[in-house]
Amino acid sequence: MNSLEHSYYRYMRFDSEAISAIQSFYLRFFKDSETVLDLGCGRGEFLKLLAEEGKTVLGIDSDEQMVEDAKGKGLQIIQADVFEYLKTAKSNFDGIFCAHLIEHLSCDRALELLSLCSRAMKKDGSLVVVCPNPSSLEVQLQEFWREPTHIRMYNRELLEFLLHLAGFEIFESGENPSNRVPPTLNSRLTRLQQEISDHLRGMRDQRYLSPLARLKRRIAMTLISTINRLFMREINLIDRNFQAIRELVDSYYPSKEIYVCGKRRLVKHQA
């Protein structure tokens, strides 16, 4: 069963370059870190990004084939259970990245993991936890459940609470804009709205070369001024409807992943 997730990745043909493009959003949280630990690092996409930034990196993953893939990229990675590794790890990491691991754990195990992360970090070290966004219909109805080892979803408020209990001060949380795929409807509305705007701009900015043409234009604009005002009122109404539809669509299709970032406190909060 160790290679179940690797087999799933191969079967689904997940693209490493696409994953790297999404995870590059999180590099900014480790700009001041020197030594970063990646828990459940998979094939090492984020490890590679960090290494290219000059960071000292170490990855931990229990999947044998994932580890082999990462080692093939020249990355330092250990095949181990993340809990067992963290129990013996010294507090020498100033950054820990934990992406798409916590949804494989029950709530009590997730809190245990975060508490172990706190023990393994230097004071003021940065922890970034990433997981699927339960506010996304696409995640709720399809993507979360097609992964064979997922256990439960975590929303942003619950993640913040768990990090707080584990001894972290939250300094940022949100949605990763790099992992949002808007539906076709949204782009069609945008194109239609742009076509209408371009047409109106063309009417407004049209220039005539001859005096006769300019006279004809003045007469025509005078005759249709009332119709034009009515037309623009309808266009504004359509525009407001477009905006309302877009806001509704966006509410159901947010980013597919959320993140919470915390700094390790000197004194751990006791639940």
**Which of 73-77, 162-166, 230-234 holds the top average pLDDT?**
162-166
Would residue 175 count as lying in a domain? yes
Beta strands 257-264; 35-39: pairing state? unpaired
Same domain flag for 177 and 190:
no
pLDDT at 212 over 50: yes
Would residue 231 count as lying in a domain? yes
pLDDT digit string, tens, across residues 239-265? 677 677 777 777 777 899 999 999 988
Q: Could you tell me the pLDDT band of residue 113, with boundaries at 50, 70 and 90?
A: very high
Whole-number percent of the chain with pLDDT over 70: 70
Same domain flag for 109 and 233:
no
pLDDT digit string, tens, across residues 179-203? 887 665 555 556 655 665 565 555 5
Q: Which domain holds residue 198?
A: 184-251
Would residue 191 count as lying in a domain? yes
- Report which of residues 162 and 271 the model is more confident about: 162
Same domain flag for 238 and 114:
no
pLDDT digit string, tens, across residues 215-228? 666 666 666 566 66
pLDDT (0 to 100) of residue 188: 56
Distance between CA 226 and CA 218 in Å, rounded? 14
pLDDT at 269 over 60: no
What is the CATH classification number for the domain harbouring 47? 3.40.50.150
Distance between CA 150 and CA 166 in Å, rounded? 22
Same domain flag for 100 and 190:
no
Same domain flag for 210 and 110:
no
pLDDT at 51 over 90: yes
Same domain flag for 245 and 260:
no
- Report which of residues 135 and 2 the model is more confident about: 135
Same domain flag for 164 and 215:
no
Distance between CA 238 and CA 235 in Å, rounded? 5
Would residue 269 count as lying in a domain? no
Would residue 271 count as lying in a domain? no
Same domain flag for 79 and 143:
yes
pTM of the model: 0.74
Same domain flag for 167 and 188:
no
Would residue 270 count as lying in a domain? no
Same domain flag for 31 and 137:
yes
Whole-number percent of the chain with pLDDT over 90: 48
Same domain flag for 13 and 113:
yes
Number of domains in the chain: 2
